[in-house]
Structure 1
Amino acid sequence: MIEVKDLHKSFGEAHILKGITTSFEKGKTNLIIGQSGSGKTVFLKCLLGLFDYEKGAIEYDGKIFSKLSDDEKRNLRAKIGMVFQGSALFDSMTIAENVMFPLRMFTKHSKSEMQDRVDFALQRVNLEGAHNKMPSEASGGMQKRVAIARAIVNNPKYLFCDEPNSGLDPKTAIVIDNLIQEITDEYQITTVINSHDMNSVMEIGEKIVFLKDGLKAWEGSNKTIFKTDNEVVTDFVYSSNLFKKVREMYLKDYK
């Protein structure tokens, strides 16, 4: 579990995060959503330890990140998997070499042990036989699955995904959503996803944190979001006629 307590972050006079308190649960897909400029990206980078913050605390399973020694922070980062928005694969490396990269950085495994982990991770994302392909030979959806394989190859306790469906068609996006949720449940990872995709919210939003102007405006799940009367949330979620109709149908059945 990751717990966030009264988190504040500023850049000069710009107060970006204004006292966020929430938690992200183990074995669940936890989504951070909100409009552009709401503070989602800054929040995610604070969680990852990329940004310092002026006030508050972030705890990983009870350990306050800011109070860890450099060695302890390095050990924690070895337990974190990251799926970047654009996949961020190394163009000069094969798919297998890309997936192996975290093992080379954070472990002292033998070459055969690393190869076994790479084989396992690629098999888990249904990319058997893709080891020797270059990223340029892979589709967007395939590249995203490689990025997920790289993120889980070191058996992480925590998985962060920054807009994992960015640039994908709706069908492929659903495949990626389902894969992330399956892996989260299967390995009981604490997964945090930064997203603007309402389809992802409805498909895998077991815990949703909605940010507005640097504040936590609402939190709940995809099972409760249809029932909220919070106008900030409803304006964001039901900005399309499709979701308005879905909500009307849901509320009618619920009554």
Structure 2
Amino acid sequence: MIVVKNVHKSFGEEEILKGISTTFLQGKTNLIIGQSGAGKTVFLKCLLGLFLPSKGSISYDGENYATLGNNGRRKLRQQMGMVFQGSALFDSMTVEENVMFPLRMFTKQTREEMLKRVNEVLERVNLQGANAKFPSEISGGMQKRVAIARAIVNKPKYLFCDEPNSGLDPKTAILIDNLIQEITRENNITTIINSHDMNSVLEIGEQIVYLKDGLLEWEGNKDIIYKTDNENIINFVYSSELFKKVRKAQLQGL
């Protein structure tokens, strides 16, 4: 669980985050949504420890990041997995080498132990046998699954995903959403997803934080979001005619 209390973040005189307080739940898919410029990326970087808040605190299962020493911060970062937008795989490395990279960086396991773990996570994301392929030899959806395998190979307590469906077709995007949700539940991870994908919001949004102009405008989940009377989130989530019809059908079903 990650607890955020009154987080502000400024760069010079420009205040990007203006006092955000929320809780990201363990074992749930937590989504951060909002329009471009809302502060989502800065907020995610604060959660990752890349930016320190100008004011406020972020605690990871009771540990305040700002008060940890260098060793404590290093240990905490090792408990974080990251799925980058566009996958961010190393082109010169095979699938196996990409997934093994965090193990080589942060553990003292033997090659046999690392390979066993790599094969476990590749099997979990349905990529068994793809070890020797290079990123250029596999599809975008497969690359995303490699990125997920790499993010979970060190058995993280916290999983961060930045636009995991970026560049994927709708069917593949749903498969990636479901995979992330399954892995979250299986391993009881605190998963935070920065997303523009409204399908993700309505499909796996077990906890949703909506930012607007650096403020927390609304929070809830996919089961109640269609009931809100907040015009900003209605216009954001239900901007297309299809989603407007979905919301109307949901409301009529009450």
SS in 2 for 1:87: coil
Unaligned runs of 5+ in 1: none
Task: State the alpha-carbon separation in 1 of the partners of residues 58 and 78 from structure 2.
Answer: 17
Please say which of residues 187-196 and 69-78 is displaced more in the overlay. 69-78
AA of the residue aligned to 1:129: G
SS in 2 for 1:167: coil
Task: State the alpha-carbon separation in 2 of the partners of residues 66 and 97 from structure 1.
Answer: 33
How far residue 13 of structure 1 moved from its aligned partner, in angstroms, is: 1.4
How far residue 109 of structure 1 moved from its aligned partner, in angstroms, is: 1.0
Aligned to 2:243: 243
Task: State the alpha-carbon separation in 2 of the partners of residues 140 and 220 from structure 1.
Answer: 31
- 1:21-66 Cα offsets, whole Å, 9 max, x none, are 0010000000000000000000000000111221000000000001
Alignment of 1:92-241 (within 5 A): 92-241=92-241
Alignment of 1:72-91 (within 5 A): 72-91=72-91
AA of the residue aligned to 2:61: D
Task: State the alpha-carbon separation in 1 of the partners of residues 108 and 99 from structure 2.
Answer: 16
Task: State the alpha-carbon separation in 2 of the partners of residues 214 and 106 from structure 1.
Answer: 34
Task: State the alpha-carbon separation in 2 of the partners of residues 118 and 239 from structure 1.
Answer: 41
Task: State the alpha-carbon separation in 2 of the partners of residues 48 and 156 from structure 1.
Answer: 13
How far residue 153 of structure 1 moved from its aligned partner, in angstroms, is: 0.4
Task: State the alpha-carbon separation in 2 of the partners of residues 77 and 103 from structure 1.
Answer: 13
Please give the TM-score of this superposition, normalised by the length of structure 1.
0.99
Task: State the alpha-carbon separation in 2 of the partners of residues 53 and 222 from structure 1.
Answer: 29
How far residue 111 of structure 1 moved from its aligned partner, in angstroms, is: 1.0
Correspondence 1:17 to 2:14: no
Q: CA RMSD in A?
A: 0.5
Matched residues, number: 254
- 1:191-225 Cα offsets, whole Å, 9 max, x none, are 00000100000110000000000000000000010
Unaligned runs of 5+ in 2: none
Task: State the alpha-carbon separation in 2 of the partners of residues 251 and 116 from structure 1.
Answer: 50
Please give the TM-score of this superposition, normalised by the length of structure 2.
0.99
SS in 1 for 2:253: helix
SS in 2 for 1:85: coil
How far residue 110 of structure 1 moved from its aligned partner, in angstroms, is: 1.2
How far residue 138 of structure 1 moved from its aligned partner, in angstroms, is: 1.0
